[in-house]
């Protein structure tokens, strides 16, 4: 594989940029092609520092632009496809999410076949497995259980179909007579510095005197640190390049978690921010069944208003289920096939994320000072 190049889509995102940083350490890798719709100036600056280790080419463009995608794949030896639209509130038009998540993936697979790219790694999500009901208890689930979401909500549905397309493309004939080999990684809920979800919770709490809202107290999840998810992608790439390991991995999907303690999403937010004086809202909350049916009512209101007005409900049944389920996964199969072991311990992950939360608190204070002067 001497002098090979790797294309990373969604390279400017929360996970994508971590993958780029780890790829820069790979031996024999000549070029990283980082593809995204737009790169923020700060990230451009950060990526430019990697140029001393590896050639880094920034490609700004749309994953739905077939010509652009085909050019991006030309001469690449592997594709890591992390680009997607994440939408748990159904706030983004369905067509937009389906286009990026499903059609974009199909365009990329076709481009790989045309450009004879032999390796394709897809970033999926545990949402393709569920949870389908907050009443179900799923603990330490494994790949052979073949769990599947029954939700028609756009995000899990689009990711389920895209993952299916990726795994079905395993074994495709490439233009140069070679074969395409694919696999998919299903991370659990990803946290870490730069997490858009955690940013939202902290931002909301800062406006509410440091009180973190509790809307997931009944959940048991096994969150995973972003650095460990990025590491799993590197190991999947190495494994697909290894003639001995590759046959076991081709066409497979893997759950990716780590040793972060199983806990509710509320407690995770609290553990990552308590050092800065944040606390959980101690007020009583509605029973789940009531919140669930309220979500259903709000969906009906939204549907009835849709011909005249786009009403965006604050939550829906899918979100209530996501936030309040017992839904945890084992990473044993990734351990066996990919040689995956978390790169970051819970303590290290917690420390790095807590430090980042501290920078958000500092920014907030600075903002308040500016307003008062």
Q: What was the pLDDT predicted at 11? A: 98
pLDDT tens digits for 199-238?
999 999 999 999 999 999 899 999 999 999 999 999 999 9
Question: In a 3-state reduction of DSSP, which class is residue 345?
Answer: coil
Answer whether 92's CB lies under 8 Å from 60's CB: no
Q: What was the pLDDT predicted at 279? A: 96
> How many C-beta atoms lie closer than 10 Å to residue 41's C-beta?
7
Q: Where are the domains of the chain?
A: 4-196+223-261+330-346
> How many C-beta atoms lie closer than 10 Å to residue 286's C-beta?
10
Q: What was the pLDDT predicted at 2? A: 62
Answer whether 87's CB lies under 8 Å from 98's CB: no
Q: How far is CA 345 from CA 183, 225, 226, 228, in A?
A: 25, 9, 12, 9
Q: What was the pLDDT predicted at 368? A: 82
| CA dihedral (208, 86, 186, 196) positive or negative | negative
pLDDT tens digits for 287-329?
999 999 999 999 999 999 999 999 999 999 999 999 999 999 9
Exposure b/e, 57-91, CB count within 10 A at least 16 = b? ebbeeebeeeebbbebbeebbbbbbbbbbebbebe
Answer whether 346's CB lies under 8 Å from 260's CB: yes
pLDDT tens digits for 94-151?
999 999 999 999 999 999 999 999 999 999 999 999 999 999 999 999 999 999 999 9
- Checking if the pLDDT of 75 tops 60, the result is yes
| CA dihedral (159, 135, 317, 150) positive or negative | positive
Q: Cα(47)–Cα(110) distance, rounded to whole angstroms?
A: 28
Rounded to two decimals, the pTM is 0.96
Instruction: Give, to the nearest 10 degrees, the angle between helix 104-115 and helix 154-168.
Output: 20
Answer whether 51's CB lies under 8 Å from 121's CB: no
Question: In a 3-state reduction of DSSP, which class is residue 117?
Answer: coil
Cβ burial of 248 (10 Å; 0-12, 13-18, 19+) is middle
pLDDT tens digits for 151-192?
999 999 999 999 999 999 999 999 999 999 999 999 999 999
Length of the chain: 373
**DSSP string for 168-207:** HTTTPBPTTS-B-EEEEEEE-SEESTT-HHHHHHHHHHHT
What would the mean pLDDT of 321-346 be, rounded to a whole number?
A: 97
Nearest Cα residue to 359 out of 229, 203, 191, 214: 203
Strands 119-123 and 181-187: parallel
Mean pLDDT value across the chain: 96
Q: What was the pLDDT predicted at 370? A: 81
Answer whether 113's CB lies under 8 Å from 177's CB: no
Fold (CATH) for 4-196+223-261+330-346: Rossmann fold (3.40.50)
Q: Cα(226)–Cα(234) distance, rounded to whole angstroms?
A: 13
Q: Which of 134, 155, 181, 191 is catalytic?
A: 155
pLDDT tens digits for 20-40?
999 999 989 999 999 999 999
Q: Cα(232)–Cα(341) distance, rounded to whole angstroms?
A: 8
- Checking if the pLDDT of 1 tops 60, the result is no
Q: Cα(296)–Cα(154) distance, rounded to whole angstroms?
A: 16
- Helices and strands per DSSP (H, E), number in the chain: 14, 14
- Checking if the pLDDT of 15 tops 90, the result is yes
Strand order, beta sheet including 220-221: 137-141, 326-329, 220-221
What would the mean pLDDT of 350-358 be, rounded to a whole number?
A: 98
**Vertex 209: Cα angle to 208 and 212 (nearest 5):** 60
Q: Say whether 155 is catalytic.
A: yes
Q: What was the pLDDT predicted at 373? A: 65
């Amino acid at each position: 594989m001497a002098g090979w190049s790797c294309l990373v889509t969604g390279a400017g995102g929360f996970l994508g940029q971590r993958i780029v940083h780890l790829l820069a350490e790979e031996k024999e890798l000549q070029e990283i092609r980082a593809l995204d719709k737009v790169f923020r100036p700060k990230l451009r600056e950060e990526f430019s520092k990697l140029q001393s280790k590896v050639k880094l080419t920034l490609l700004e463009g749309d994953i739905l632009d077939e010509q652009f995608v085909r050019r991006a794949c030309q001469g690449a030896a592997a594709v890591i496809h992390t680009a997607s639209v994440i939408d748990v509130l159904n706030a983004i038009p369905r067509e937009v999410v389906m286009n990026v998540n499903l059609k974009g993936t199909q365009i990329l697979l076709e481009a790989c076949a045309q450009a004879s790219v032999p390796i394709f790694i897809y970033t999926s999500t545990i949402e393709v497995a569920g949870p389908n009901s907050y009443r179900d208890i799923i603990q330490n689930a494994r790949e052979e259980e073949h769990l599947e979401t029954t939700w028609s909500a756009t995000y899990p549905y689009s990711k389920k179909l895209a993952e299916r397309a990726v795994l079905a493309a395993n074994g495709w004939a490439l233009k140069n007579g070679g074969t395409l080999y694919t696999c998919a990684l299903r991370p659990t809920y990803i946290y870490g510095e730069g997490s858009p979800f955690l940013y939202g919770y902290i931002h909301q709490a800062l406006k509410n005197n440091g009180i973190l809202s509790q809307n997931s107290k009944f959940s048991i999840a096994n969150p995973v640190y972003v650095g460990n998810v990025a590491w799993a992608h590197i190991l999947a790439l190495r494994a697909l390049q290894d003639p001995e390991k590759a046959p076991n991995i081709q066409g497979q999907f893997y759950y990716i978690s780590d040793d972060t303690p199983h806990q509710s999403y509320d407690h995770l937010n609290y553990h990552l921010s308590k050092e800065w004086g944040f606390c959980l809202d101690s007020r009583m909350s509605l029973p789940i069944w009531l919140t669930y049916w309220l979500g259903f009512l709000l969906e009906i209101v939204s549907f009835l208003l849709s011909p005249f007005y786009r009403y965006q409900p604050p939550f829906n049944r899918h979100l209530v289920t996501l936030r309040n389920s017992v839904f945890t996964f084992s990473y044993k199969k990734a351990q066996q096939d990919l040689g995956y072991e978390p790169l970051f311990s819970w303590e290290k992950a917690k420390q790095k994320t807590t430090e980042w939360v501290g920078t958000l608190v500092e920014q907030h204070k600075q903002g308040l000072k500016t307003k008062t002067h």
